[in-house]
């Protein structure tokens, strides 16, 4: 079948695989020259397997080791953030707030209302189990509108009785098979618009 270009600029007669190798570059897809909406352009994961804690009464701060950098290839790209954090506090009643961050900007927090704590996820946990460690999952689709490197991370704060909170370990953290240790992560994917 002959290749035909009609008056509207469409081409007919090209079979699948009929274009020579190298005539379409990945940069063309990422930049939007060739539409590729919804395609995953890159995936980066950071995993933290050691433990850390937020000291009792300390100010809101970064969770060390739960930080990932990504450089979008187009300003129209979306960034999909997926994360799991294994959190524990003191048995009885402990409260904490987790904040998803893009650089210094807090993402996805609830509306302020009186003395309530706007946060991404978290809350009050009531357990008498000193070996309890719970996974907290979160997914968010961001539009950073840049081709410069952006940093996604988590911050945390204690919100009840100034109690310490822990990542990847139980409150007791005793030396025994019954005492859990976990792994937490943050994953980012660039999604073509």
Can you give the pLDDT at residue 5?
A: 72
SS3 of 42, please? strand
**Of 141, 147, 153, whose CA–CA distance to 185 is shortest?**
153
Can you give the pLDDT at residue 56?
A: 85
Domain 39-191 belongs in CATH node 2.60.120.1340: yes
SS3 of 28, please? helix
**Predicted confidence pLDDT, tens digits, the chain (193 residues):** 677 777 676 767 666 666 666 666 666 655 555 556 789 999 999 999 999 999 988 889 999 999 999 999 999 999 999 999 999 887 777 788 999 999 999 999 999 899 888 999 998 777 777 778 889 999 999 999 999 999 999 999 988 766 889 999 988 888 988 889 999 999 999 999 8
Can you give the pLDDT at residue 24?
A: 65
Q: Which two tokens mark 107?
A: 């993402």
SS3 of 80, please? strand
Domain ranges of the chain: 39-191
Tokens 């946060």 correspond to what residue?
Answer: 119
Can you give the pLDDT at residue 18?
A: 63
For residue 167, the tally of other CB atoms under 10 A from its CB is: 24
Full-model pTM: 0.78
- What is the distance between the terminal CA atoms of the chain, rounded to a whole angstrom? 34
Q: What is the DSSP letter of 25?
A: -
């Amino acid at each position: 079948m002959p290749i035909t270009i009609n008056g509207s600029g469409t081409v007919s007669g090209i079979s699948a695989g009929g274009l020579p190798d190298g005539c379409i570059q990945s940069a063309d897809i990422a930049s939007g020259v060739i539409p590729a909406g919804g395609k995953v352009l890159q995936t980066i994961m950071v995993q933290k397997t050691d433990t850390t804690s937020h000291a009792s009464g300390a100010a809101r701060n970064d969770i060390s080791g739960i930080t990932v950098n990504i450089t979008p290839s187009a300003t129209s790209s979306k960034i999909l953030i997926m994360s799991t954090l294994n959190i524990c506090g003191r048995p009885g009643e402990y409260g904490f707030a987790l904040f998803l961050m893009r650089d210094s900007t807090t993402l996805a927090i609830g509306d302020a209302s009186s003395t309530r704590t706007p946060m991404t996820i978290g809350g009050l946990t009531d357990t008498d189990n000193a070996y309890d460690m719970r996974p907290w999952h979160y997914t968010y689709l961001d539009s950073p509108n840049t081709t410069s490197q952006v940093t996604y991370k988590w911050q945390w704060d204690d919100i009840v009785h100034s109690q310490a909170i822990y990542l990847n370990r139980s409150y007791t953290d005793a030396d025994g098979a019954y005492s859990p240790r976990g792994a937490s992560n943050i994953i980012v994917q660039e999604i073509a618009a």
